[in-house]
Amino acid sequence: MTAPALARTRFTELSARERTIALLDPGSFRELIGPFERLESPHLEPQGVVPACDDGVVVARGELDGERAVVLAVEGLFQGGGIGEVSGAKMAGALELALRDAERGHPVYPVLLLETGGIRLQEANLGLLAIAEIHAAIVALRSHVPVVGVVAGMVGCFGGMAIAAGLCSHVIMTREGRLGLNGPQVIEQEAGVAELDSEDRRLVWETIGGEQRVATGMADALVEDEVGAIAGAVRTAFDAGPPVVHRSSQVERYEARLAGMDPLDQLDGPALRALWRDDGGGR
Amino acid sequence: MSRGRTWFEALAGATFDGEPASVLCADGSVRGERARFLTVVPDPEARFPRARSGELGLEEGWALARRVREVVAADDDRGDRRALIAIVDVPGQPYGCREELLGLHLALAAAVDAYATARLAGHPVVALVVGQAISGAFLAHGMQANRILALDDSGVAVQVMSKRSTARVTRRSVEELDEIAKEVPATAYDVTSFSRLGALHRLIDGVDAAEPDAEDVETVRDALAEAIASARHDGSIDLSGRLASPEARQHRDASLRVRKRLAEEWSR
Amino acid sequence: METLTFDYPASQPVSRRAHVGVVGSGDLEVLLERSLDQQAHITVRTSADGFGEIWEAVLDRFFARNDLAAVVRINDSGATPGTVALRLAQAVEESQL
């Protein structure tokens, strides 16, 4: 595919590996623990679940505008992008190595492509432990380099990995992307359809979709679902440098926001945008 | 009374009267070591209706973050960094449209951020699991600790989702899940299975987790003191110790193999 | 889940290894590498039980038309025979680039 044609390709139509290749400077992609090493989950076959040779996460070194980078991409189509022992270790381990490099004065720019439902239920507490290690690594690393997260869709980013997104220095979303702790179906199951009709697409996206998240300051950039746009947004995020105060550290601001509203009032996406726009909206 | 509150009041030697009422906070000590005790408890009067049964919701996430950051700021120019004791008994996070709209994921990230920041600044963070430790709530309150302790009790469980919900999502019966839990201990909920994964510093037995007597409290206090001392002594401010235990070498060996391979392939 | 194996005599070497597809619902991934002997060795792990004969038919046809001394690993999540054939063809194409 020619470069211009690739630039116009829908990011959401690409696999995790293809997204990673498309994001990095051409020719710079170098995968670590690639598919042929077949480092897969040891826990799936015993449960009768077919494993993936890369356990659903791609880790690749490469460059972004000539700068050293590492991309961690979750394959949302494999087990809903659920994080297990191996996939979680790939992410945490890569972030830990990036931290080591940063501490030695050789920063590597980290990008997380997040298509994930959170913890892979079939691996439960191993996924939980791995995600805690991902969280720890993001917090340590982001004081050295910005940690950039991309939530493009169509799986979105949920669970413990939504918490990881909340820890990132910059979050880039498309309109198709969704970012929330509990997925719509889980909320409907647990709290009933009156609480949230998971089939009501407009409501779901108005609540946790990319446009809503950016408008209420919970994500930084809303971009088109296009390789070129997302690749550009990632580079722009690194150029901008880290935020003065990370979103997850803005305690006073968010406590004030929550205190300044009545939790029993009817509140929807548009109403929240209006409410929070008045206090400065984004960052 | 919630186990979190029981243990908080016993260990901190205090009750809590502040806001929000669901996040108990007290400064005390553990065998002479300054410590701040934190726990999340049910509050039937909580402002957010879906977080009244002890869930770690919006207010709880940001409040925990505030309470932890107060300590980091206060001790910033002191020689010694006080310990943070996260007493864990959380049934999970609230399920609600409003919660998601208002950024529940970010509220939990705030708590993760604060605890991790405290640990990186040299504060020993110790988690004491006295009841349930579920999913996002445990990630936010406890999982960033230098040391995790748990009471060996049938009411103590570490899990990511209720059995019923897991069955529904994975399209298996509860009986099938129980069978799988025998093969894959990571999916079992009991604390003994969790301890096999190597992340627990100590499984404290012989203690009444629900209604501790004075001796039980002293036993736990001793364990907390040892955990704090251990964290200070090795000086490690990251979570790498979890993978160094013999249990981890056995039951999280894939995690170690991945890291080894990544390190080998990192530079070329 | 089932694991199925198939072997075919083969003579043409594989130029480069190939990996196509994703283990997603209705899809499969195929890893193709060179075989050390004059055979094609295929291992299929499939989430859909009871389709051994269909796999045999698809693979018989494919390897009758493609003489490739390859080790092929398939992780399948319920793909149709048509998708299987497509991914195999893509893998062969990639191995000849």
Range of the domain at C29: 2-95
Instruction: Flag if A122 and B265 touch (Cβ within 8 Å).
Output: no
Structural domains of chain B sorted by starting position, each given as residue range(s) with its CATH number in brackets: 3-237 (3.90.226.10)
Q: Which residue is listed with tokens 């319920």?
A: C78
Interface with B, mutate which of A29, A129, A204 (most B CBs under 10 A): A129
Q: Tokens at residue A169, please?
A: 């220095």
CATH fold of A3-179+219-248 reads: 2-enoyl-CoA Hydratase; Chain A, domain 1 (3.90.226)
**Is residue B192 classed exposed, middle or buried when 0-12, 13-18 and 19+ CB atoms within 10 A define those classes?**
middle
Count of Cβ atoms closer than 10 Å to residue A195 Cβ: 14
What is the structure's pLDDT at A283?
A: 44
Q: How confident is the model at residue A281 (pLDDT cuts 50, 70, 90)?
A: very low
Helix (H) or strand (E) holding A32: strand A30-32
CA-wise closest residue to A202 among A155, A270, A108: A270
Whether the upstream peptide bond of residue A218 has omega within 30° of 0, thus cis, is no
| φ/ψ of residue B89, rounded to 5 | -155, 85
The number of folded domains in chain C is 1
Q: How confident is the model at residue A2 (pLDDT cuts 50, 70, 90)?
A: confident
- DSSP-derived secondary structure letter, A87: H
The Cα A155–Cα B171 span in angstroms is: 19
Comparing alpha-carbon positions, the chain A residue that sits nearest to B239 is: A133
What does pLDDT average to over chain A?
A: 95
Q: Which residue is listed with tokens 């699991």?
A: B129
User: Each residue of B29-58: pLDDT tens digit?
Assistant: 999 999 999 999 999 999 999 999 999 999
A163 → closest Cβ in B49, B112, B194:
B112
User: Each residue of B137-196: pLDDT tens digit?
Assistant: 999 999 999 999 999 999 999 999 988 888 888 889 999 999 999 888 899 999 999 999
Instruction: Flag if A163 and B105 touch (Cβ within 8 Å).
Output: yes
What is the structure's pLDDT at A194?
A: 94
Which subunits have 3 or more CB–CB pairs within 8 Å of chain C? A
Residues 6+ away with beta carbon under 8 Å from A137:
A92, A95, A96, A98, A99
Give Dmax (Cα) for chain A. 55
Beta strands, E only, chain B: 23-30, 33-40, 83-90, 125-134, 147-151, 157-159, 202-204
Chain C closest-CA separation from residue A90 CA (Å): 18
Interface A:B, Cβ pairs < 8 A = 244
What is the structure's pLDDT at A4?
A: 78
Q: How confident is the model at residue A282 (pLDDT cuts 50, 70, 90)?
A: very low
The residue-averaged pLDDT of A38-58 equals 97
Residue B78 has pLDDT above 90, yes or no: no
User: Which residues of A fall within a CB distance of 8 Å from B180?
Assistant: 46-47, 122
The pTM of this model reads 0.98
Q: Which amino acid is at A263?
A: P
Residue B110 has pLDDT above 60, yes or no: yes
Count of Cβ atoms closer than 10 Å to residue B170 Cβ: 19
Share of chain B above pLDDT 70, in %: 100
Helix%, strand%, coil% for chain B, nearest 5: 50, 15, 35
- Ordered alpha helix ranges (H), B75-134: 97-101, 104-120
Using CA atoms, how far residue B189 sits from A107, B133, B146, B157, B182, in Å, is: 40, 10, 22, 5, 11
Chain A from 211 to 230: CB within 8 A of any B CB? 212, 216, 218
Count of Cβ atoms closer than 10 Å to residue A280 Cβ: 10
Q: Tokens at residue A231, please?
A: 């690749």
What is the structure's pLDDT at A280?
A: 55
Instruction: Flag if A52 and C47 touch (Cβ within 8 Å).
Output: no
The residue-averaged pLDDT of B209-214 equals 97
Q: Does B150 touch chain A (CB under 8 A)?
A: no
Q: Does A264 touch chain B (CB under 8 A)?
A: yes
Residues 6+ away with beta carbon under 8 Å from B78:
none
User: Each residue of C32-62: pLDDT tens digit?
Assistant: 999 999 999 999 999 999 999 999 999 999 9
Q: How confident is the model at residue A278 (pLDDT cuts 50, 70, 90)?
A: low
User: Each residue of B63-72: pLDDT tens digit?
Assistant: 999 999 999 9
User: Which residues of A fall within a CB distance of 8 Å from B58?
Assistant: 258
The residue-averaged pLDDT of C66-91 equals 97
Instruction: Flag if A38 and C23 touch (Cβ within 8 Å).
Output: no
* B/A touch flag: 3 or more CB pairs below 8 Å: yes
Residue B111 has pLDDT above 60, yes or no: yes
Chain A closest-CA separation from residue C76 CA (Å): 7
Q: How confident is the model at residue A279 (pLDDT cuts 50, 70, 90)?
A: low
C1 → closest Cβ in A45, A53, A77:
A45
The Cα B243–Cα B233 span in angstroms is: 18
Q: Does B160 touch chain A (CB under 8 A)?
A: yes
Chain B closest-CA separation from residue A131 CA (Å): 8
What is the structure's pLDDT at A8?
A: 87
What is the structure's pLDDT at A5?
A: 82
Cα B110 to chain centroid distance, Å, stands at 15
The Cα B261–Cα A14 span in angstroms is: 27
**Alpha-carbon torsion (B162, B163, B166, B167), positive or negative:** negative
Residue B217 has pLDDT above 60, yes or no: yes
The Cα A131–Cα A164 span in angstroms is: 8
CATH number of C72's domain: 3.30.230
B258 → closest Cβ in A46, A93, A121:
A93
The Cα B178–Cα A21 span in angstroms is: 41
3-state secondary structure of B252: coil
Could you tell me if B102 and B57 are in contact, meaning their C-beta atoms sit under 8 angstroms apart?
Answer: no
Q: Where are the domains of chain A?
A: 3-179+219-248
Comparing alpha-carbon positions, the chain A residue that sits nearest to B111 is: A248
Q: Secondary structure of A172-195 in the HEC alphabet?
A: EEECCCEECCCCHHHHHHHHCCCC
What radius of gyration, in Å, describes the C-alpha atoms of chain C? 12
The Cα A238–Cα A246 span in angstroms is: 14
Residue A273 has pLDDT above 90, yes or no: yes
User: Each residue of C12-37: pLDDT tens digit?
Assistant: 999 999 999 999 999 999 999 999 99
Could you tell me if A24 and C2 are in contact, meaning their C-beta atoms sit under 8 angstroms apart?
Answer: no
User: Which residues of A fall within a CB distance of 8 Å from B263?
Assistant: 93, 97
Chain C closest-CA separation from residue A30 CA (Å): 15
Could you tell me if A160 and A119 are in contact, meaning their C-beta atoms sit under 8 angstroms apart?
Answer: yes
User: Each residue of A111-141: pLDDT tens digit?
Assistant: 999 999 999 999 999 999 999 999 999 999 9
User: Each residue of A218-260: pLDDT tens digit?
Assistant: 999 999 999 999 999 999 999 999 999 999 999 999 999 999 9
